[in-house]
Chain A
């Protein structure tokens, strides 16, 4: 029926039909694909991107979705630029209304993936200028800087004077220094241009999208810099891009440096339980906030944890079983525990010798302490 409407050019009716299909079968690739094509044709690139992301999360090898996603991202990027120059005051507006903002984190990620550090830095700095309190953005910027430093060190060139910890400091103390130093370094050390600077490969896009596609949530958290609040409110139901049936990722919380230190102390307490291999706290956009123990591949685990949490959240809502608190995955040789904490998710990786009873009791205490901090 949806296809008939689509062929007749009745986009709204077609969208309604495809959404009905997804209510019954949320993994229907055809429905996601057709919705994506309609949104793309309508110029609603962000929603189209979300549809293609859904397809790729279900079937990462879907070449058609890869290609369409690439097209949507490129169009979104192309569409956003003129708006920014035409309206310099956009920084003061809420992010949800700012298509440039919502697309830029993804663009920044793509530049990072391609090794275009200067462009990635530029994107993240622009976003940070609009939302200086956003810790997640600062961490992303820190990540780019770190990679840039490493690359420069390998090539023997000048490196940025920035240190990772600079980005956990209050913005008013560090921001200007950071910007000036980075810009100076970038001028001194122009990165050799690659064969095709403006194109992203499907693999680039896929890799970024496999991060969960929720980076936009970071930007959507933007609030006036004068009144930063730790607990971001639930997304507005009237937000244009929000799918009513999807549990929207809650915007990542902005944490202060001292809060992070305190979180580390609390996590360290948890880490004393025998059998725990690592624990870390992520925003529910999948980005690492604080971690103890081994940190390799935390980002991957974070993305997968978010995917698990989203599916679980949906199922719990559909069954009317209250508010999701914990998910414990028991595998052959270990356990993954995910605990919801406001806008954050605590992830604990433990071996199969862990005393789960003790872990649960300790977790109760830990979560209470963390809850007080937020």
Chain B
């Protein structure tokens, strides 16, 4: 996979290649010139030496070596590397032998290698430079080595070459008798060649800073040209002025120094100014960044929603306090752990697959959306949550930001609200029906009483006739026979015996309907109930008093723990009805279970937050799981027909809801049930 570093390198190799080509061409041109022997092409400047043939030949070798390094891949093929090493080695050897030649005073006749070569050796400085350049290129043959030695060698060679070039600029002619000097073209060619070597790996070693976009790079790019060019130009001007006779050596030097100082100071001041601005901008950016970071942290810490950030492997790297509260883990416990520890097991595999898919293909299914999924708390409890998932790239890697909202409370409230609304609407309907039934019921009950009374009257009359039957039979046998026949047809003795039972049953039925209608009317109370502040123990006593005899008859013990509970503001009669309903239910459940060892009802109460919890638990028959969701529904009853209206718990629920509280139930069939009433401490009153 390509890295940034490698990219810089390929970009920088083209100039290196160009420099190599130029150096080679310089050598080739000089050789050609020498071979053709054209005097016109003798030297670059009139009166200066031209490149010697041996030098030209060596340049061709060195230039070819740079070309090879600059054109190939970062790691060269073995063959190319061999050729490059051979060229570089030859160039270094050439220089070394020439130096040896000078030092020993022997004449090895290197210049004789070329056909028709004159006895003109390359200058010592040139030979030295070829040694330096050759060694540098030999080092660079392996592109993986530290580039600094090669760059140091190339820089040294540049300095030697510059000495010659600048010397030519300042001197008009060579001092006769001095050792041979490096020719001007040779010096320039060396400058180009060394530049090529430095550019081979411009992004590494000493010169990397020059090309970098850092403050150091900016400074280097600004100061270096001035630092190199200024002394050269100023020195030339100074010499020129001196030769023209404007000033003497001492004065000229002073002016040179002053001008140098002024120029360098100016460049440094300019650079320092812009660096300071850059620095100030950077600090401002840093401050903004810090502020932004702090703001982001604050937002994360203060957020009411849980925020979890994970890396591209699904490991948690941020876990805010709300998430700690939601999941029950501390941040320290989960940082670095996989996200799966926050999910129920069945989500693990889809999560891993989704994560892999997104990281590899960036195809989002959940990212950028809000979904309802399930979470897993530290204690293993499962809960519904709302998840908004986002992704961002940091340093080429994906991070996931999940915003999590625990919706179990919302779901519970929603369910409770639906239940309340259902009960309220059913309650209204029921109350309306009850009112409609009331009128006919009133006269049905009445008429029944009338019927009973009048039937008794009729029977008395009949009895009186019965007494006179004998005399009637004697006086009017035909009528007596007709009476007897009619009596037989309707089975008079049975009718007389059955009449009381018939009327009694009917009256009982009507009474039951009446009770039912009255209970139904209770479901939609009108007018605000009387609110009082009362201790719970008094309320419980009030309710217990009403069924104490029934409890005693059944041998049911009642434990009551209502101490230390704050007083309650409520509609006393209603709340005592709630307790009474729950007690009656408990009693009936115990009767149904038939506990010969004795039933037990436990009433416990405590403050829970801003609510009071009243528990009424029994060891009765319990409620079947399939019935549990319906116990608060109106007319739902499991009691025998006629034993219950199915409205008790419904009314109880309505009263509790009217007080701004809630009613919950849990039950284990065969073991008992527990009803929990939650009432707010400062009830806003029934609505």
A and B assemble together: no
